[in-house]
Each structure stands twice: as structure tokens, then as C-alpha cells.
Amino acid sequence: MRNSHHAVFSVLVLFLVSSLLGSSLAAKLCNNDGDSGCFRSRVLAAQRADRVKELPGQPPVKFRQYAGYVTVNETHGRALFYWFFEATHNPNKKPLLLWLNGGPGCSSVGFGASEELGPFFPQNSTQPKLKLNPYSWNKAANLLFLESPVGVGFSYSNTSRDISELGDSITAKDSYTFLVNWFKRFPQYKSHDFYIAGESYAGHYVPQLSEFVYNQNKIASKNDFINLKGLMIGNALLDDETDQKGMIDYAYDHAVISDGLYQRVNQHCDFKLEHVSKECDGALDEYFDVYKILDMYSLYSPKCVPSTGNSSISQSVAGNRHLPAARGLFRPRLVSHNEGWRKMAAGYDPCASEYTEKYMNRRDVQEALHANVTNIPYPWTHCSGDTDGRIPVTATRYSLKKLGLKTVQDWTPWYTNKQQVGGWTVEYDGLMFVTVRGAGHQVPTFKPREALQLLHHFLANKKLPSFPF
């Protein structure tokens, strides 16, 4: 027995010595930045550190997920938080899609990932519970959510003045830096087709980031080149004048406001102007009063009746934490200050946002996501600062008309399952406009099957079916 024990001990000693030698060798290799073996070692270590093994209340899945921080400015200590899901099947062959929510200042983790198109939705439960989304967009693509700009959700900066300098330009620049550095952490996705998508105020974020990537690609090194293929925006905020005029016209056409109020808004409000009269402000206040009793983001859905002791969704989602200099820098000029502008939709379950905030503020959830590493002294909320109002189809059509694009194929129905009309399309030169019948502001929340169908056709660069099937 002694000999046997001695043999085992010798093996263990040899194993430990070889491990130590291996570690020393790895350390030496990593002093040489040009060594591919060292690079692979660093990449694998970084990915392992961000791997989310299992979330509290999560159902079992076969795809991998990662979450963590990517530094975008080392001098200021500025870092953006991300959550990434591999595609459910063949992730090495699927494209990569970045999703951005709007606001400005609303979380893609809170809305996009947790209530619209991600694989897991928090549920109303005394214990943490996640429901598997059967229409998750990672069935079609590798799915990346980013909390941007800095100050949104778990993203942070160690330099306080960064918050007061926020705007569309710096948001695009930081998001680009994030992408360059994220691809260094996940180089296996660099060669994949890459798409940028989002909704609402991402009507600014998505095209500006896409343009930034396009321009940087002209001068970028091979290592920093991003394989951008296309962009997609839902209910996009594009133009102050058309967005705000469309919002009022839509409310009138859907019998939400009276003839008298509609006339007063048109009489006193010139949406081309940055500053308006007191009469216009008064009329807009009256307009937003209607949305204290209706869900602005889905006229025909019920409102959330908050549970006893919990904050209401309008307070909870908008949050009490404001970006000091955000107002007036990068949002619609006239109506963003109004309380009615500071509410987000929650889809079929109007209290979904309440469940998400409760879940994201759990310490065990944050630890599993490698989030809140700076121990922020306030609760995680969906939005930091004001959020934009719903952008109706009326406003989008006004904006498209203003662009003056050539029409290739006019108003055409497209079909979803069981021979049902899913909506309509208009093909312009270089752009496809798609409506989704019966959807609210957050299309994947209200029409998840149709939204996934739309994504599949978008990624395949195919038109939606124009005949029943």
C-alpha cells in the first residue's frame, strides 16, 4: 500500500510541477504580444470570465451566453455593459446582430433582451423565474445587447463630467469603440455578417453608428474592420417635425383626442420651431393628459395596475435618476419634457417592466451577469432620464415622404402564418418600409411571431411573402 501511495504522490508531484512549468511557459509566451498562442490564451480567458453559466430562475438551454463590461475610454474609466447570446443552432454560421433601444437613455438589457426579443423574460413570482421566449431572435442570429450611452443601466464612467457631455455623436463613437474591443474579445465573430438594429430613439443611434462604422472601415486596419451588412429600425424617431406632427395626427385619427384639442394644437404649434408659445405648451399638456388613462405605446392594451407596495410603472420605468445635461441635447425639442413622454410600454402583460426591474436589482442576478461592479448607489432602472414617446406609423410615413426616395414597389400586403395579412410593405430605392399589423411601439413584444419572420427575411435579404401561405 505504501508503494501505491508513493506512486500516486509521485504522479501528483509530477502533475503539479508540469502545471507550474506550463504556467511559467504561458507567462513567457504572453510577454510576446505577437504570439498567436498567447493571443488565443488571453481571448479564451476573457471569454471564460464573461461566461454566464446560469441565471437565477433560468430554464435549461443549450446555447451559451456572456455578459460583462467593455472599456471604451481607459483615461476616463468609461465602460459599457453588454449581454450576448449565441444563436440556438449553428452559431458559427449565423450572422451577428447588435440591438439598441432608444430613449435616449433606455436599457437594451431591460427592454430588448428582457421584454421583447431576448431568450429570457422575467416573470411575476416570489422567487426569481425566467420564461423561455419561443420567438427569441437568437433563433436567427447571434444576439448582442448593449447598454448605451454611458450612464444607462449598468454602464458607467469614473469621470462624472462624461454624463454632462452626452449626445448622439459621443454615443456613436463609444458604441464603435465598444464594437472594436468586443470583437477583440470574441474574434470568432469578426468574419460574420454584422447587422445593427433598434427601435424608437435608435432611429438616431442605429444610422449614426452605421455611418460611423462605414466611414471608419475606409481607414481601419484589417484587425479593426467590421463586416457591416445592413441596418433595421423599428418605430424610428427620425425627424422632430414629422415625428411630432405624426403623433398628434395619429391620436386624432384613432379618436384619442377631441376635435377642439386637435384644432388648438394645429393652430398654436409649429413643429418646425425649437421654441413654441405658451398656448402650444398648454395644448400639448392637454394632449398628454389623455395618456394618463391610456397606454401611449399600445392604444388597445391594458395599463399596469401595480401591486401593493410597489412603484407604478410610469415612475419605475422612467426612474428618478436623471442625466444632468441630457435635456435638449439629443431628443425631440417640444414634447420630451412632458411627463407623458416618460413612459414605456410593456406589451401583453402591462406589468412586465415591473418584473424586469425587480429581477435586475437582485444581487444574485447581478453577480451572475458580472454586472454592477462599481456598486452603483441607486437601483437599476429601464431608463436614465426622459424617454421618448411612441412613434406612430403616421410619423414614419411623414418622415419617408420628406426623404423623397424613389418608390420601387408601392403599398403591398405581406403574409404571415395561416394566410393572415401581417402588414404592408413599400419598397424604396435602397430602403424597405414594413408595417406590422396590430403591433404597438415595441413590435417584438406585441407581435413576436411576425417580428421573427421579419428578421429571418431581413437577414436573408428576401422580401416578405406577398401571397397567402
Among candidate residues 204, 370, 382, 441, the one labeled active-site is: 441
Residue 28: is it exposed, middle or buried by C-beta count within 10 angstroms (0-12/13-18/19+)?
A: exposed
Sorted by sequence, the CB contacts under 8 Å of residue 391 that are 6+ apart come out as: 200, 203, 235, 236, 237, 238, 243, 246, 247, 441
What SS3 class is residue 228?
A: strand
Furthest C-alpha separation in the chain: 100
Query: Taking Cα atoms as reference points, which of 234, 378, 388 lies closest to residue 318?
Result: 388
Examine the residue annotation and report whether 200 is marked as an active-site residue of this protein.
yes
CB-side neighbour CA atoms (13 Å) of 130:
22
Please say whether the beta carbons of 237 and 391 come within 8 A.
yes
Sorted by sequence, the CB contacts under 8 Å of residue 142 that are 6+ apart come out as: 84, 85, 86, 87, 91, 94, 95, 96, 97, 189, 192
**Residue 153, phi-psi category: left (phi > 0), alpha (psi -120 to 50), beta (remainder):** left
Residues forming a β-bridge with 352 = none
Query: Taking Cα atoms as reference points, which of 429, 433, 392, 428 lies closest to residue 414?
Result: 433
Examine the residue annotation and report whether 388 is marked as an active-site residue of this protein.
yes
Residue 122: is it exposed, middle or buried by C-beta count within 10 angstroms (0-12/13-18/19+)?
A: buried
Chain-centroid distance of CA 278 in Å reads 36
Examine the residue annotation and report whether 50 is marked as an active-site residue of this protein.
no
Number of helical (H) and strand (E) elements in the chain, helices listed first: 14, 13
Residue 46: is it exposed, middle or buried by C-beta count within 10 angstroms (0-12/13-18/19+)?
A: middle
CA angle 372, 378, 381 (to 5 degrees): 80
Among candidate residues 157, 200, 301, 399, the one labeled active-site is: 200
Cis bond upstream, residue 149 (ω within 30): yes
Report the alpha-carbon distance of residue 284 to residue 281 in Å, rounded.
5
Among candidate residues 162, 239, 243, 388, the one labeled active-site is: 388
Cell (9 digits) for 183: 470583437
- Catalytically annotated residues: 200, 388, 441
